Amino acid sequence: DVKVTQSSRYLVKRTGEKVFLECVQDMDHENMFWYRQDPGLGLRLIYFSYDVKMKEKGDIPEGYSVSREKKERFSLILESASTNQTSMYLCASSFGGARNTEAFFGQGTRLTVV
Amino acid sequence: QKEVEQNSGPLSVPEGAIASLNCTYSDRVSQSFFWYRQYSGKSPELIMSIYSNGDKEDGRFTAQLNKASQYVSLLIRDSQPSDSATYLCAVTGNAGKSTFGDGTTLTVKP
């Protein structure tokens, strides 16, 4: 059974804190993604990684960074959390290369910044 | 213009009817097309994938792809209340990066 696991389901952080969201997949997928989902705005790509130590900016990378030191783990970092980063964060993974298979999603982390 | 656009909804159909969901995309080199279903408070889950022009059927679901028109659709036959959810269209290019539409919320009324 394929699995993408996010470290927290709910998180409350204070403005200015450094926040780490962790994601682990057990499917040996090359690609990993971080999205945020807000009402009326759909799923927006923050960053994606197509290999270890490789990353590309998505549509809304400002205020975020990522780390992928191992193939199975992809971390999203909020350098200094702000209230406008309150959102649902979704991690996903997929095979890369020419296979273009579907993305599998983690359960999501609902982050509230106060 | 958004890269992936879906009919705005919300869409409401009676139980047993056909629900039709539409999606257009702007990038002509897009290679893979997916429909995800997302229940409230849950993560998206794949229900259909389609890679070549034409129709693809899986149970009550049919995906249709027309690359010339840059159009993807999803038909749900014999709609059930359990089909009530938000449906997301996703388009993937050759780099494997998916772009999602904003979603269409479907309500199936008993």
- For B1-16, how does the pLDDT look when each residue is reduced to its tens digit (9 = 90+)? 668 999 877 999 999 9
The percent of residues above 70 in pLDDT, for chain A, comes to: 95
Instruction: Compute the mean pLDDT over every residue in chain B, rounded to the nearest whole number.
Output: 92
Average pLDDT for B61-86: 96
Candidates B23, B37, B43: best to mutate against A (most CBs of A within 10 A) is B43
Chain A residue whose CA is closest to B51: A100
CA dihedral A51, A53, A59, A60 (to 10 degrees): 150
Report CB contact under 8 Å: A42, B34. no
Alpha-carbon span B16 to B53, nearest angstrom: 27
